[in-house]
Structures are given as C-alpha cells and as structure tokens.
Amino acid sequence: MSETFDVVVIGSGPGGYYAAIRCAQKGVTAAIIEKAEIGGTCLNRGCIPSKALLASAEVLLKAKNAAALGVDIAGVSPNWLKMQQRKEAIVGGFRKGLAGLLQANKVKVFAGNAVVTSPKTVFVEPGKDELHATKGIIIATGSVPVEIPAFPFDGHSIISSTEALSLPAIPASMVIVGGGIIGCELACVYAAVGAKVTVVEALERIINTEDKWVSQLLERELKKLGIGILTSQKVTSVDVAGGMAKVVLQSGQHIESEKVLVCVGRRAACDKQTIDKLGLNMNGASIKVNDRMQTGVAGVYAIGDAVGTTYLAHGAFAEAEVAAENITGGSAKIADYSLIPRAVYTFPEIASVGKTEERCAKEGIEVIVGRGFFKANGRSVAHNETTGEIRVIRDKASGKILGVTMVGAGVTELIASARLLIGSAEKFHDVSFPHPTVSEVLKEAWEDAFGMSIHQPPR
C-alpha cells in the first residue's frame, strides 16, 4: 500500500514523537515508523523505568533511615517483584497514553522497520507499506548501549542497562563497568536493594563531565551506600565459564560477581542501508547535521541520539522543535547546547546548566563562584537531606551568570529555574523565595556570587 504524508518521522522516542506532533500542530500530515515499542528507549528502556526503580530505592533508603526523624519502622525490605510490576505499569501507562496522543493529533503510526530508498520515500518492512514524504524525512532512530568487544553482552552474566532494568531477581553482587550517569544511577538502585556493587571507571573520576568537586562529593556519598568505586582502572577480561563472573582489572585485581553491567556509553543507531542509500555524512556512528538539524541531503533531518549531541531526552525535544519548524517552512536554529540542563538521578542528585568552573578555566574566563549549602537550609535540615551544595558561576568581567551546578536532594527539579539566570547580571533583591524551601539554597548561592550573602560569613 502506498500513502503520502508531508513528513515521515523514523522513530517514536522523545525526539520522534515530539517532532511528529509539532508538525501536525503546524497543519501538515505526519507519520511515524517505529520498529519496537512506542516511546523509544527513554520510555521503555531508559529514563522512565530507571526513575521508577530509583523512586522505589529512595523510599527504601528513607524508611531504613526514618529513625533519624523520630519514626521507627521495623522489617524494611525490598519487594523486587512489586518494584518491577510497578515499573512495568508506569511504562505501560505512558506507552498507552502516548499512542492515544499521537492518534489525537492525527499522526499515523506504522509498525515495522523503516527502509529509506530516497529523500522522499520510505518502505516499512515487513508489510512493505510505501510512504511518500512531500516535505521530507526526520530521522530519530535513537541509540544503543556500547558493547566492549573483549567481553560482549550475553544477556545473562554480562548485561547492558536494558537487562539491568528488568532482572528477575536482585543479584547478590554486581560489577558496573563505567562510572558515568547510567552506571552511577543503577549503582544506587542495586546498592539500595542489597546487592554488593562495585563501580569500575577507566578515567580518574566518576561523572567526569561535571566539575571535580561534584565527582568527589558523589563518590563520598556512594561509598556511604556501600558502593565500591575503583577509578583509573580498566577491565581487561571477564570469564563467565564457572557461573560467577570473574572480572580481571588492568592492575591485576580480580573481582567475582554474579552480574557484570557494562555502562560505557551509548552510540547512535542508524540503519546502514539508509546511510548508504541517502549518502549521509557521518561522524562515526552519528549523523552529521547543521544547527538547523539538516543533514547533507535536502529534505532529510536528523535529531536526538541519532546525531550524538546530548543523549538526553530533553535535548531531543529541543532538536525536534527546530527540525519541525524548518521542515514545515520555518527558520530555526538549535540553541547553545550548554543551556540544555544536565541531570543525574543518583543519591544525591546532580544538576547543572551553562558553563562549569573547569570549562571556564580552560577558556581563560575569570569567574566568581557563589555557594549555597543544604546543611544551612531550614527545609533541608527538617527533612534530614543536608548533603550537597549549589554553585553559581559569575563572569568577573561582565558580571553575568555563566553556569549553575547543584548537588543535593531534588536538585533536578530546581535546575530549570537556574537556567533563567544564565546570561543575566541581575541581582537578587527583587526576587522573593518562599521560606522555608529548598529553593533558598539557590538564592544563597546567587547572592554569594555577588558577594552579598546574608546567611554566610564574609569571605
């Protein structure tokens, strides 16, 4: 069967469904081709299921530490089956809701593998539907976990984050190869439910994309959860022949573990046939695009993990907005990627936006750093969540705010507000923060960046 649409989107993850719906809102006809589940990796194998498990783990830890707040709770233990059932119910509910949302916006969904034969034509296998795109195609095919050739995934002993989200039982022990965002988040889940977790990171620190103080603070807190952390260490081999995995490090150290979770990043996923047929310009596995999300082929756009920029769902949202605007005749450019907030849902959370202190130093920018502390915040103390701080980075020359970095409970909910500070030299006098709230820590750091903190001694 042959059908014609204005826009055909390949992939229904955050970038894909956002782009399709936005195109439909602009009055054009849109179709989505999805080879797996509606919602892509984020909804089914990433953001949502991981946060569901993290939420359960957080409640478990709070219950175990409730005595500090004068509440005695006996017999606290994880019910892994119910945690998994809850996670699946959440994912299933959102998947159903997204399917309804696409239908309500008159976006037609085709199930199958997309085979692009020209900038205006896509076949859907195995049904062989032929879709014609009068305005163009948006490629939003997402990413897959990076595999280490020396010890590839076997789905049982050596697993990716996909399997780690749905293990049938809590393993007694787990070695996590990679101390990035995914590795550290899953370390928190499994340590909370009782597994002996060891994180092995090849670089000198975990979460190396943020400032050193962030990594050091998080490492300290993860160790309090019983998580072992080995940095500047590489895994050279994994032997699973004897049932237990025997992990060998470059230093010669051996670790036995029931599971080995490999979290060394993700890589863009794009069908080779599509790349070859269209003659797409590539940057490794990622599709090259300009700041309008255009590929080198007229009428073909690419967004999200397929272009390897942020590997963030909200990064894909931003790129989808630009692609949808341009493919429907508008003129939009992607914003500064540093202004897309970064969030890590560990215990404690990490959130940042704009430039880091280390990036400013590399660029030769002299800065003033304001600091606010959760241990001095009334609401944080009341909730026994006093770990961490907020730093506001101000350009000494211009007075403008360049970046904000936060570590603490719930900071991922504050970072969007902090984004509004970036580029501003406005002081805080006319902005009222309700008391007592955790948000006051941001005000303290903001004040301190201007040398006007009320609740901190002069420096």
Catalytic residue IDs: 435
Which phi and psi (to 5°) does residue 206 adopt? -80, 160
- From the number of C-beta atoms within 10 Å of its C-beta (0-12, 13-18, 19+), residue 259 rates as buried
Grouping H, G, I as helix, E, B as strand and the rest as coil, residue 135 is: strand
Grouping H, G, I as helix, E, B as strand and the rest as coil, residue 119 is: coil
Amino acid (1-letter code) at residue 165? L
Residue 118: partners with Cβ closer than 8 Å, 6 or more residues away: 277, 278
- From the number of C-beta atoms within 10 Å of its C-beta (0-12, 13-18, 19+), residue 209 rates as middle
How many other CB atoms sit within 10 Å of the CB of residue 421? 25
Amino acid (1-letter code) at residue 234? K
Residue 268: partners with Cβ closer than 8 Å, 6 or more residues away: 141, 142, 143, 284, 285, 286, 287, 305, 306, 307, 308
- In angstroms, the Cα distances linking 254 to 23, 235, 236, 303, 351 are 54, 10, 10, 42, 34
Grouping H, G, I as helix, E, B as strand and the rest as coil, residue 210 is: coil
Structure tokens at 324: 């949808």
Spatial contact of 190 and 163, defined as CB atoms under 8 Å apart: no
